[in-house]
Structure 1
């Protein structure tokens, strides 16, 4: 059994910890929030038209953002390009059909399709369940400058500015 003085000190410690944003887990104090410095930084870049782009040298993987899949609704069909197709920047790369609408995915830079996500033919809703990972659309070899694409923080600001325009 714990002495009264220690119990009072513990209660005070709990109050102090709660004010500081910590919770008592039964054995120790743990942050009640995820500290900003522990956030993982993504190497994804985003286009204003809601495509994400993950470059690896002169190759990249491309898909749609979580925001875009949410706006589109449940994807029921994905029309992917042929491997070897060459697409110019801002041209339609592929089409996504959902229960709500048909959405076009645009190439952020000039590129040539090197692979398509075959899984989407049988499971198109993977675009919804994992838009920035398993739901990738195509892999490409690209040319051109990608510095105009936004990092995640800039993209989130872009989303906020779009919401205020509505």
Structure 2
């Protein structure tokens, strides 16, 4: 069972036009998520080179600096990078939300991070919106900024099925 904030982001994404084929970024009104907006971020996805486009005030306070334009991988410890990269790719390839869970020394109780795929202005599936959802206290404890560590990744729901196509194999029509 996910936290209500995680569920809210996933339900908001699922209700967007074209959620089964990756909705356009412009269809998501972040302000409709109310107080969650300070913990939302938007990534430009590139394999092994994703960049943060936007990050809410709460996220920047947690990391102790503005994050726009910074490399996404710089926020994670080295051991977590394969899991984090895999979660981002899975989110876009399978067209469904993925939830990362992990730890941050500044967040007692850890973090749950739902990710949802979107299309950018070029109509390519290259945007991901995510939410920092602390599992413990709502405000970061006072420590120097440190890197996040990922422990698990979970895809939510079923990936959309490809529509069956009629093909010919050695002159025979097969589905």
Shorter-chain TM-score tier = under 0.3
Larger radius of gyration: 1
Report the TM-score when normalising by structure 1.
0.25
Q: TM-score, normalised by structure 2?
A: 0.24
